[in-house]
Amino acid sequence: MINLKSPGEIDKMRVAGRVVAEVLNILQDQIRPGISTGKLNAIAEEEANKRNALAVFKNYPNPRGSRPFPGAICASVNEEVVHGIPGIRLLQEGDIISIDFGVIVDGFAGDAAITVAVGEVEPQIKKLIRVTEEALMKGIEQARVGNRLGNISHTIQTYAESAGFSIVRDFVGHGIGRKMHEDPPVPNYGKPDRGPTLQAGMALAIEPMVNLGAYGVYTKGDEWTVVTKDGKHSAHFEHSIVIGEQGPEILTLL
Ligand code: MG
């Protein structure tokens, strides 16, 4: 069942979304060669605490294993797609890092992700990052009353594929509200004019994961880190949005 949000609930989601945007902005400024993913995680936890926000990925139960997620952020480097575990790894010049961060504030969730180049990266990798963010924004433009969910999915897929990249199938976006993950699932691929009809008050986390090579991925032995099968780079951008009568409102944008 898709849960429509009331104006009061949307106000609370704006607060949660703003916290996510602020923390990601702080992390983005810290990304440089030599910083560890664990240090970025510590900064995220501290900044969430300052804002009375619960970093909700921490201790998130594992649907495919037994080990809850140990970090406040997902930190996925290069061929890591999503759910990378922050730790002692030091970022190096030429890496890319995707950071996914979610909070609950006053009973409502916000969720967003960015991919950032560490220093100078190859032109093709730079293009991958740019196209992934553009695909997200093109998808968000489709989040309008009367459109179908498949219009979001199809727009993201065609945009990323027309740039020569591929869309991850095994992980998708989601509804968001009192919980981080609600109905409906929001795939980043599929046919237009299919799926639920979009209504005012729907809140969605839209999050394309785009691969430089083929779309296949697998989960490593740590039960969390998802990597590309071909070892090529992957990028990830996400915003939480709410659909209004006049169009989509991005909740996780400063
Ligand atoms: Mg999400």
CA 100 to ligand 1 center in whole angstroms? 8
Q: Quote the domain boundaries for residue 76.
A: 7-250
Residue 63 has pLDDT above 90, yes or no: no
Is residue 147 one of the residues assigned to a domain? yes
Is residue 140 one of the residues assigned to a domain? yes
What does the mean pLDDT of the chain come to?
A: 97
Q: What is the pTM of this model?
A: 0.97
Tell me the per-residue pLDDT of 201-214, one tens digit each, with 9 for 90 and over: 999 999 999 999 99
Is residue 230 one of the residues assigned to a domain? yes
CA 173 to ligand 1 center in whole angstroms? 6
Please report, as a single letter, which amino acid is at residue 153.
S
CA 112 to ligand 1 center in whole angstroms? 6
Q: Mark out the alpha helices in the chain (DSSP H runs).
A: 7-30, 37-50, 123-141, 149-162
Confidence of residue 65 (pLDDT cuts 50, 70, 90): confident
Is residue 189 one of the residues assigned to a domain? yes
Q: Residue 230 is part of a domain; what is its CATH number?
A: 3.90.230.10
Is residue 1 one of the residues assigned to a domain? no
Is residue 2 one of the residues assigned to a domain? no
CA 30 to ligand 1 center in whole angstroms? 22
Is residue 124 one of the residues assigned to a domain? yes
pLDDT of residue 131: 98
Tokens at residue 158, please?
């065609």
Is residue 32 one of the residues assigned to a domain? yes
CA 111 to ligand 1 center in whole angstroms? 6
Helix crossing, 37-50 with 7-30: angle to 10°?
A: 140
CA 88 to ligand 1 center in whole angstroms? 24
CA 35 to ligand 1 center in whole angstroms? 25
Section 62-68 average pLDDT: 87
Section 151-161 average pLDDT: 98
CA 248 to ligand 1 center in whole angstroms? 17
Residue 64 has pLDDT above 90, yes or no: no
CA 186 to ligand 1 center in whole angstroms? 10
Number of compact structural domains in the chain: 1
Question: From CA 11, how far away is CA 37, in angstroms rounded?
Answer: 32
